[in-house]
Copies of this chain bind each other. A is one copy, B any other.
Amino acid sequence: MSTIAVIGLGIMGGPMAANLLEAGHDVIGCNRSPHKVQALISRGGRGAETVAEAVAQADVVLTVLPDSPDVEAVVLGAAGVLASARPGTLLIDSSTIRPDVSVRVAGAARAAGVRAVDAPVSGGEAGAIEGTLSIMVGGEVADVAAARPVLEAVGSTIVHVGPAGSGQIVKAANQLIVAGTIQLVAEALVFLEAHGVDTDAAVEVLAGGLAGSRVLDRKSGGMLARQFAPGFRVDLHHKDLGIVTSAAREVGVAIPVGALVAQLMGALRADGHGELDHSALLLLVEQLSGRRRD
């Protein structure tokens, strides 16, 4: 068992830390809002007031942060992970960030004697709580092998996809597919409603054929009921679609549907819905169709 500093105890990091505790690890939590740290302590974990304090005691550092600048600040900053870690510490970054930042962080870590893997996750809050996340890992073979026992406490599908940054590339592809599938389901549901079809029956039969998807299974009920409590926020998916759009441009790959979905997610956010679940793309389809129920 390891001593693991978990930096970032939000919607994903909180339940991941709880599952690490559950698996028997010694977990030290660190978070901007201290009540999340208290929640971890009440489950048997430990707390630290600063990143430096948490990291100095740890064999493994797990960062679960919102965006690239957060990871840069927390890992590379003056009192950050690399400045405080003992030599040989393993840094696992489960944030979803720009692949080029991930590569840079891995390089800086190596220079500081810290081993680093990028290990973004998919599966949402439910997957984090259940410990069934799908985890796409980039890094050197030995470092990924060292991370695996830790990741097995939080995920059920853990796959090494390539060198540093590769996890972020696959996560970008994941976010492209997820946003696009939500938009397709939204278009289909509004279309079915407008035609007066029994939508529950329609979803059942769609789920049984080639149109079946985890998005349809997990999201269509909330979409039909217009319940958009997150889950995964529009703000964050908007950020992720910026990442995939840039990363596609960098290698000259055209993603026409991905780019359109990025525009639609941006429009939904601009319309004031950044705090809703990403399945709220349905509201945009309704608005474009003159069917908003407000």
Contacts and interface: CB of A to CB of B under 8 A. Distances in A.
Given A160-B198, A162-B197, A257-B261, 12 more contacts: A121-B209, A157-B205, A159-B204, A159-B205, A161-B197, A162-B196, A170-B197, A174-B211, A187-B253, A195-B251, A212-B214, A213-B215
Given A181-B213, A191-B173, A195-B251, A159 B288 contact: no
Nearest to A199: B161
Interface residues of A, number: 75
B191 A176 contact: yes
Q: Which of A133, A208, A285 has the most CB of B within 10 A?
A: A208
5 contacts: A123-B208, A134-B209, A195-B247, A213-B215, A252-B289
Copies of this chain: 2
A43 to B, nearest CB: 26
A41 interface: no
Interface of A: 99, 121-124, 127, 133-136, 156-162, 166, 169-170, 172-174, 176-178, 180-181, 183-185, 187-188, 190-192, 194-198, 201-202, 204-206, 208-216, 218, 244, 247-248, 251-258, 260-261, 264, 285, 288-291
Contacts of A123: 208-210
Contact of A212 (B169, B204, B213): B213
A191 B206 contact: no
A213 B176 CA distance: 13
Contacts of A190: 253
Contacts of A124: 210
Nearest to A216: B177
Contacts of A178: 210-211
A176 B205 contact: no
Contact of A247 (B191, B213, B290): B191
A179 B213 CA distance: 13
Nearest to A244: B191
Contacts of A261: 257
A213 B184 CA distance: 13
A93 to B, nearest CB: 16
Contacts of A253: 187, 190-191, 194, 285, 289, 291
A183 B188 CA distance: 16
A192 B170 contact: yes
